[in-house]
Amino acid sequence: MKFSHIQKTPLYNAFSDIGKRIFLPDGIFHWSGRAKKEAEIIGTIGTAYGFERDFINGGSTDWLPCYIKEISDYSKFSINEIVPYSAIGGIAETREIWKNWILKKSMYDDSADKDKYTRLENYITTPEITAGVTNAIFQSCSLFLNPGESIIIPSKRWGNYDNIIYKLIGAKISSFNFFKDNRINIKGLRKTIEQVATNQDKIILLLNFPNNPTGYVPTLEEATDIVNLLKECQRNLARPFIVLVDDAYEPFIYKDDVLRKSIFYDLHQLNEDVIPIKLDGITKELLIYGGRIGFITIGLKPHWVENEANLNSLKTEINNKLEGFTRATISNCNHFYQTLTHKMFTEKGIDKIIESREKIKNLLKARYDKINSEINQINNPNFSVDPNSGGFFLFVNLNPTKFIYQDIQRIGKILAPHIGEFNYKQYSIFTIKNPDIPFYVLLHDLFALKQYYRNNRNISNTTLKKRELITSFDKVMEIIEKILNYKEEIQKILPKFVKFDFSDFGIIPNRINYTKKMSNIEIVKQVFFNMDLRIKDFTGSIGQHHIIEEKSKKRIKLFENFLSENWIDSDIKIEMKFHPNYMVCSVNDNFVSTTITQRSLGEKWLLSFLIFFFYHRKLNENLIILIDE
């Protein structure tokens, strides 16, 4: 959303940095809302649905959210079980029950794993109740991340992580490609840890198995590799490793050769300061999506304390911190569903809950087996599915230069895939209801479309719908061929546009030496957007640096004003330090000042692009700016 109207009101200038930064992205709830209005079959939101008869004995033929039968026994509570505030940290009995639930899920054998069980029982905090796992993620990230600091998360992740961490907290996500050769990319994770460690005295990592959106669960071998890597890196780097374990989909695992329980348990047994924090809740585990009851449980290390009294004091202090977050944000959590959780466990028992949930799990496993069976029959080099063993999702990868979706006849649109390193995270969309109307596209999308057309033009035994589609393609190709082959036609159809790329313009440098010859002058001019500097200003005597400083400050102020109008994510400023022989450029973002080389590559590129755009706008050139991720 562009917020073009709100920016014209006094509200916008009154917004805090977070107020300007935050927005609701077009994520799963956006598409679910559209699906409810527009689709015949809805498959967008992470809620398990089914015919009630398939998971409840004697159930109806209604299509309902899957639920555990025992929930229906608790439609009425006493006033005292619903109306009063709950304790800030949650109802004590519910917290204690959830701790026992965590112990049960460890699958530790009473005799063979007695020491592990005892360690787990004694060295975890009593679970703190939150408003769902989302709130648990926010509280945990807020507890450990300062604005500008980095948390490591794989490239394929739940989209709301970005909203919480980047837009709300103001921290950064350091990402690595999730998979390599159909396995978790251990080398990529190691490299990212080492990179973050160069600027940060702690490592914060978020793991989510089964993963949303891929459904990936590590094999036993891969899980061991992850644990050993974190153990080794913590020893070598000698700093705390905070591992947030998002266990939202923990029970829904459909294969036997993968990790069947949370990786939290293996990390907790390490003696090193690899500190796991378990984030789970009733949303998926008890299939109560609207209950919004989550839990934060922090794994502790025996070597931190000398005796039981110190251990109890440590737990009290940690819970006080967490309750401080709860009090300052949501005050306390839903009393009704805390009571429901408590009663289900005490009156029905853990084993009965697991038995009832198993019917739903088996239903989902049958769907998992079916869809993977069908997918495995697809023999196409341009189509692949990431490894998946659980959860409610799987992730399809499509070759962006081959795959294209057409629906010209119905809505007059073609979606051409973003050509990037993996998948097609972004689409370029252009409307072709009337082929005579000019349309604006990125040239690489045109090449992709043309290639697809050539590969699929000669289709035998086509249906009427396909023949109509090909006829539409013929009309489209008339325009495409003109655009690709004739410069004159481009000039007629498209307004002037400028392609900005790494190869065409340099990235803003950290440091610029005044005495460099002509080869660097263009870079200098780019950085200061044609600030009326002359060659003699750079090649003259050292004493002239004050002239550059004076001219630079004027242009920097103009550029900062331009940024404040167009850079809505944060309050960002360009800072210059001038010396007799050189000047240094840095960026101040949320009161944190870093040199250009310490910024992300994408941000350096974008700043360079904005400077370039500002320069052309100053010349009163009309531009169409096509930004490709």
Residue 353 has which token pair? 């809950």
- Higher-pLDDT residue of 531 and 603 is 603
In this prediction, residue 268 carries a pLDDT of: 97
* CATH for 107-307 (3.40.640.10, 3.40.1030.10, 3.40.50.300, 3.40.50.1980): 3.40.640.10
Lowest-pLDDT range, 419-423, 561-565, 587-591? Answer: 419-423
Lowest-pLDDT range, 201-215, 497-511, 585-599, 604-618? Answer: 497-511
Q: At what angle do helices 601-618 and 545-566 cross, to 10 degrees?
A: 100
Contact 61, 53 (CB under 8 A): yes
In this prediction, residue 373 carries a pLDDT of: 83
Distance between CA atoms of residues 274 and 243, nearest Å: 7
DSSP string, 283-333: HHHS--TTT--EEEEEB--GGG-SSHHHHHHHHHHHHHHHHHHHHHHTSS-
In this prediction, residue 411 carries a pLDDT of: 35
Lowest-pLDDT range, 254-258, 298-302, 397-401? Answer: 397-401
* E strands present in 351-494: 383-385, 396-398, 405-407, 413-417, 427-431
Q: What 3-state class would DSSP assign to 146?
A: coil
pLDDT tens-digit map of 25-80: 655 555 555 555 555 555 545 567 778 888 888 888 787 777 888 877 776 777 77
Which residues belong to CATH 3.40.640.10 in the chain? 107-307
Q: How many helices (H) and strands (E) does the chain have?
A: 23, 20
Residues whose CB falls within 8 Å of the CB of residue 485, separated by 6 or more in sequence, listed in order:
none
Given a cut of 80, is residue 515 above it in pLDDT? no
Q: CB count, 10 Å around CB of 531? A: 19
How much of the chain, in percent, has pLDDT values that exceed 70? 59
Contact 616, 534 (CB under 8 A): no
